[in-house]
Amino acid sequence: MSDAQNEQLQTFLDAHPALETVELVLTDPNGIARGKWAPVATLKKAFGSGVNFPLSLHGLDIWGSEVSETGLHIESGDRDGFCVAVPETLAALPWSDGRLVEPHQATTAQVMLETLTPEGEGFGGCARTVLRRAVERLAAEGLTAVCAVELEFHLLTTDARTGAPFTVAETDAAFDNTHMYDLEALAEKAPVFAAIRRAADWAGVPIDTVVKEAGPGQYEVNLTHRADPLRAADDAVQLRRIVTEAARNYDMVATFMAKPFPEHPGNGMHVHISLLNDAGDNIFAADDGLDRQRHAVAKLLETMAETTLIFVNTWNGFRRMAPGSYAPTRANWGDNNRSVALRLPAAQPVARRIEHRVAGADANPYLLLAVLLEAMRQGLDERRDPPPALTGNAYDRATPNRGPRLPSSMAEALDVFEDSAFAKAALGEEMHRIICAVKAAELATFTAHVSDFERTTFV
């Protein structure tokens, strides 16, 4: 532990004298937060040599079960790695025993971790390490990415009889009404969003705007941009935790499931990215900025199908990608157009950026950003132009320049991902192997199940 980190930790502990427990958090291949509770004294170890966790946590499927094909479980001895604290993520949690408290009353802290091998090296199966390496490749070319994440989610309540969640409808609103950008819907949920903002402030997660989205009980939180992709991804993981806990404290259930209701819009994770040079200037705002922006777009489009499995990483997520859904179904781009996969928002030159609109809200933000940054880096090096921009409705068959179709199922996405040299380069061989194994296991489990609808139809 450096002197600066030791001082940071001691200052934090002095400001929160009631702390008893620390929640140690890391993410699995699906971007799900996993970890353990430990005595607050464990923070000193986390900030130093690291806390032991089994490396097999980085080889779990969506149900939290071990996937032996990853090679991380009993067949390799189920070895431990050392997980070190990400100091910037250390925060007190603002709820204790189901009630909001003041900072000096907080009893639980939280810190995110990054995994090292038993030899103390970066672990290629850790999603945060994968993104770190993508950031370092950009930095070697004098570039820094500025990233901002938008996350959509549903707030649900629980049926007291069955325990099953269902959509929280807004006051006096029919379930099938849209009420997009509805201020009354936000006012109805003001207490839970106040709790979300409070927890985000404590955690240093920079919330910008909150919006009522198109579906019943559906909302969007936009995060402020950061000139640090690692912290932008941390923000996304922390925000999902914060929203989930805040909802629980108000007897609701929050879900970032990509498509919870077939008749309503799904939940997406939109990412805005620009690139700064060594002087801190947006390269897309320079004299040749539009050309360089198009070069980045070209590689993002070229690699989009083979990395769809990172953007849409669940069986359910492919249900979100439907015509007219504002979830892209083809690899295309356009200026100020929300029906395309890559949108160039209306902006002054200094704020020129690319918005990636493919990912589901349940994607792993570290792997998502790693793939996008690597594609943009390669695109700038290759200097090729993209196909013509799309104008109009990307879902209309009559619209020119609709682009090639993206994989529409996990099986199809896995097939092209397994053979992708780009995906292997962007993620590293170890993470590529882990994702292939985990997704193949999940696919086998889903395809082995016969639904009630099938039985009703065919029996």
- pLDDT cut 70: percent of the chain above it: 95
Sign of the alpha-carbon torsion through 325, 439, 373, 239: positive
* pLDDT mean across residues, the chain: 93
**Residue 268 · residue 357 · CB < 8 Å:** yes
Element (H, E) at 422: helix 421-427
Phi and psi of 109, rounded to 5°? -110, 170
Structure tokens at 436: 């292939």
Domain with CATH 3.10.20.70 in the chain: 3-123
**Higher per-residue confidence, 158 vs 124:** 124
170: pLDDT strictly greater than 70: no
> What pLDDT is stored for residue 103 in this prediction?
78
pLDDT tens-place string over residues 2-24: 778 888 999 999 999 999 999 99
> What pLDDT is stored for residue 210 in this prediction?
97
Confidence of residue 178 (pLDDT cuts 50, 70, 90): low
172: pLDDT strictly greater than 50: no
pTM: 0.95
DSSP 136-178: HHHHTTT-EEEEEEEEEEEEEEE-TTT--EEE-PPTT--TT--
99: pLDDT strictly greater than 80: no
Mean pLDDT of the region 312-319: 97
Which CATH architecture group holds 3-123?
Answer: Roll (3.10)
- Residue 116 forms beta bridges with which residues? 82, 122
Mean pLDDT of the region 303-310: 99
> What pLDDT is stored for residue 318 in this prediction?
97
**Residue 266 · residue 360 · CB < 8 Å:** yes
**Higher per-residue confidence, 170 vs 349:** 349
> What pLDDT is stored for residue 383 in this prediction?
98
Instruction: State the Cα–Cα distance between residues 329 and 397, nearest whole angstrom.
Output: 12
Which CATH architecture group holds 137-395?
Answer: 2-Layer Sandwich (3.30)
Instruction: State the Cα–Cα distance between residues 283 and 287, nearest whole angstrom.
Output: 9
171: pLDDT strictly greater than 50: no
Structure tokens at 274: 């620009």
Instruction: State the Cα–Cα distance between residues 16 and 204, nearest whole angstrom.
Output: 16
Domain with CATH 3.30.590.10 in the chain: 137-395
